[in-house]
Amino acid sequence: MKRRNFIKNAALTSVGTIAGVEVVFAHMMPKGYVPLAFQDPDPFKMFNKNKEMVVLNDRPWNIEAQAHLLNERITSNQNMFIRNNGKIPENIDVKNWKLVIDGESVKAPKSYTLAELKSKFKQYTYQLTLECGGNGRSEFDPPAKGNQWTVGAVSCATWTGVRLRDVLDDVGVKSNAVYIGYHAADVHLSGDTAKEPISRGAPMAKALQDETLLAFKMNGEDIPLAHGYPLRLVAGGWPASVSGKWLTGISVRDKVHDGTKMTGSAYRVPCEPVAPGDKVKDEDMCIIESMPVKSLITYPKTGAQIKEGKVLKINGHAWAGELEVAKMEYSIDFGATWNPCDLEAPANRLAWQHFSADVTFPQKGYYEVWARATDSQNQSQPMVLPGWNPKGYLNNACHRIAVKVK
């Protein structure tokens, strides 16, 4: 972050020429503007991402992984999806960064520096699954508006921080508390600082869970800028939009939070099933909470080829929102029959679970390996697209890879 600012400052002091060529009208540039020639357009370099990641949008930045990039047991920064709603904040002053806890349902507002959060409260570390509510949106028909995620808007990193519950206990929460809402330092795409790009939240029951953290480390190091440095909320198992980045405030509300992207159809699905293409009234939409059961084959990459008679080893991850995955299966005959996978227990609650299997094929030809997870309440992934909804949320259809046996 400091290096980027240094480059910008150096650029601005010598903006009269770029690569030996005069900048015509340089004296007319708005104060603080950085010429495109000095801007780094390469998101893989900017965010230290794997070059196989797929950029869906650059205003704001939205980047997803491919299934095979998520083969790590713990997701590294280079393979972690980015979902933004506004501009990433710049010129972060860590020493003076403050988190303000306020709202109708606190006894009195209170603020904490990062140093105070780290020193005053016990720190905890959990592996936590974060998945964009729109992961899989690209498969819906009729199409749903929004970033056309395929399967790669999911991750499970290790997060370290303090429990939100402990901080709220220190502040003092009234008995009428219903919801929390977060506020952050990202900037609205319009540049209007009076507008919040996103301000979502969760019911108090979720806010008070052991695993709901005010996090300042990811995988043992400072959180990367694109993922919320220097402080973010992490609430695993729910849509990742609940886990606000660049956190500056938590409001404890006496009603359901009504911030940006909490109302209307945002992160909501029809309360009752609807026909594809139907229009649904806002009052008939329900807020997404726990994410549905889902799985992903991360090895091998789709398109794998093996010799006849050989065993194909597959592995991947499965998760089920607030629940555990109880059973994992695979099919090579388009779901006509299913075979068991080996399934590991989660590292902790709300972490994804790893599965593996040895797959054999009866003869040469083209196959698809399908994966299906079943949660602890006996809910299984649908083999094909689940019920349509206007915003293309919660696609948890079976993941599949193509295999050719030669």
Q: Classify domain 294-405 by CATH number.
A: 2.60.40.650
Q: What pLDDT, on the 0 to 100 scale, is given for residue 9?
A: 43
Task: Return the domain boundaries, the chain.
Answer: 94-287, 294-405
Q: What's the predicted TM-score (pTM) here? A: 0.90
* DSSP tag of 11: H
SS3 81: coil
Positions in the chain whose pLDDT score sits under 70:
1-20, 34, 36-41
Topology at the third CATH level for domain 94-287: Sulfite Oxidase; Chain A, domain 2 (3.90.420)
> Which residues face 286 on adjacent strands?
269
Q: What is the structure's pLDDT at 30?
A: 81
For residue 400, the cross-strand partners are: 370
pLDDT at 39: 61
CB 263 within 8 A of CB 199: no
Q: Are 303 and 402 in contact (CB under 8 A)?
A: yes
Residues 189/60, Cβ–Cβ less than 8 Å: yes
- In which order are the strands placed within the sheet that holds 82-83? 54-58, 61-64, 82-83
Query: How does 168-206 read in b/e, with b if 16+ C-beta sit within 10 Å?
Result: beebebeeebebbbbbbbbbbeeeeeeebbbbbbbbbeb
